[in-house]
Amino acid sequence: MLHFIRTITIAGSVALAAGAAFAQDHPDKPIEVIVGYSAGGGTDVMARTTAPFIEKYLGDGASIVVKNMPGASGQIGVTEVATADPDGYTLGTFNLPGMMARTIDREADYDQDSFTYLANVVNDPNVIVTTKGGGLDSIDKLIEEAKANPGAVTVGMSSLGGDDHFMLIKLQQLTGAEFTIVPFKGSAPARTALMGGHVAMGILNISEVAEFQEELNVLGVATEERSDFAPDLPTFKEQGVDLINGSMRGFVAPAGLPEDVRAKLLDAFEQLEGDAEFQEAMKATANPVEVVTGDAFKALTGDLYDLARGVWEETPWN
């Protein structure tokens, strides 16, 4: 028995030493960040803007490669992350509430415990946009048209069961208006369809329309107070519709990430909020920064799972 315990102790010491050496060497090859949406959307922009700063804080020539895996409302990409080796070389973007909604409205090969939670980085409020020349250039006109002709107003959005969809559910519940959803594989193709006049209205995020305000009518922002990124844009609340909603976007790794590698990555993400250059880069892409790391990020995920579950039980979207 004593020999057995001694063997276990020695084996454990060797494992700890190997782990420490692993973290010291990490990363010694490029880290892949999987984005579950198309290039050009809000999540993709967040990932590509954040990557150089994580490289800086990891140091030693760290390199991050962004890989887009769109489809199934982000499920394909996030499943790839959940099932990857927890070696610190596969990370992924993580959208809330959408990623948790995928575990409610369909079969999913992941759940809340499938990830090592690194950091939420962005809290991006929703906006409603309409086509130029379509006549629906105010929230009042939009609601009036949708109530007068139920289902006639088509709405482009990135997915069902995501923040865009929850925003539309809230709008319908608040106003009694009825819309027809046209889902796309990401916000960028939804925005393109809107600009081409293929749908009448879009629900996007403020970061996704900041550069397109000349081409689209932006009817309002779903925040309590006006956004610093568009101070001239009124909130819906100011216009008599109490709509508050948005998308949170961050980064996860597969569950079981070695503790010392997790600590190294967390340290890099925690330095983002105090980095003035990072803040400027995110401001330039109209991405409102809200950094929540580690266990607090996991707790936030649990809260938004409960929100999605509640919406599903009252208003199933499939």
Inter-helix orientation angle 259-270/2-25, to 10°: 30
- Identify whether the C-beta of residue 130 lies closer than 8 Å to the C-beta of residue 220: no
Q: What pLDDT was estimated at residue 291?
A: 93
Q: What are phi and psi of 32, to 5 degrees?
A: -95, 130
Calpha distance 13→19 (Å, rounded): 10
Calpha distance 110→102 (Å, rounded): 9
Find the CATH number of the domain harbouring 309.
3.40.190.150
User: Does residue 219 share a domain with residue 130?
Assistant: yes
Q: Which amino acid is it at 66?
A: V
- Written as one string, the DSSP assignment of 76-89 is HHHHHHHTS-SSSS
Find the CATH number of the domain harbouring 186.
3.40.190.10
User: Does residue 142 share a domain with residue 188?
Assistant: yes
Lowest-confidence segment of 65-74, 78-87, 169-178, 205-214 by average pLDDT: 205-214
* Residue with tokens 């199934």, as numbered in its chain: 72
Taking the model in full, what pTM does it have? Answer: 0.76
- State the CB neighbour count (10 A cutoff) for residue 20: 12
Domain stop point among 198, 217, 239: 239
Which tens digit of pLDDT belongs to each residue from 30-75? 999 999 998 988 899 999 999 999 999 999 899 999 999 998 888 9
Tell me if 195 is assigned to some domain: yes
The total of structural domains in the chain comes to: 2
Domain stop point among 190, 216, 239: 239
- Identify whether the C-beta of residue 95 lies closer than 8 Å to the C-beta of residue 164: no
Share of the chain above pLDDT 90, in %: 63
Mean pLDDT of 3-16: 42
Helix, coil or strand: residue 177: coil
Domain span holding position 97: 31-124+246-314
Tell me if 1 is assigned to some domain: no
Q: What pLDDT was estimated at residue 22?
A: 57
Instruction: Say yes or no to pLDDT of 301 above 50.
Output: yes
Q: What pLDDT was estimated at residue 36?
A: 94
Domain stop point among 211, 239, 267: 239
Task: Tell which phi-psi region holds residue 60, choosing left (phi > 0), alpha (psi between -120 and 50) or beta.
Answer: left
Instruction: Say yes or no to pLDDT of 318 above 80.
Output: no
Which tens digit of pLDDT belongs to each residue from 86-124? 999 999 999 998 899 889 989 999 999 999 999 999 988
User: Does residue 129 share a domain with residue 115?
Assistant: no
Calpha distance 170→155 (Å, rounded): 14
Asked, as a colleague might, if the bond just before 97 is cis with ω within 30 of 0, I would say yes
Radius of gyration of the chain (CA): 21
- State the CB neighbour count (10 A cutoff) for residue 185: 19
The residue ranking higher by pLDDT, 29 or 16, is 29
- Identify whether the C-beta of residue 266 lies closer than 8 Å to the C-beta of residue 119: yes
Q: What pLDDT was estimated at residue 287?
A: 86
Tell me if 204 is assigned to some domain: yes
Calpha distance 2→19 (Å, rounded): 26
Tell me if 62 is assigned to some domain: yes
Q: What pLDDT was estimated at residue 208?
A: 85
pLDDT confidence bin for 214, thresholds 50/70/90: confident
Structure-token pair, residue 163: 């923040």
126 Cβ contact list (under 8 Å, min separation 6): 163, 164, 167, 203, 204, 205, 206, 221, 222, 243, 245, 246, 247
User: Does residue 258 share a domain with residue 219?
Assistant: no
Calpha distance 116→196 (Å, rounded): 40
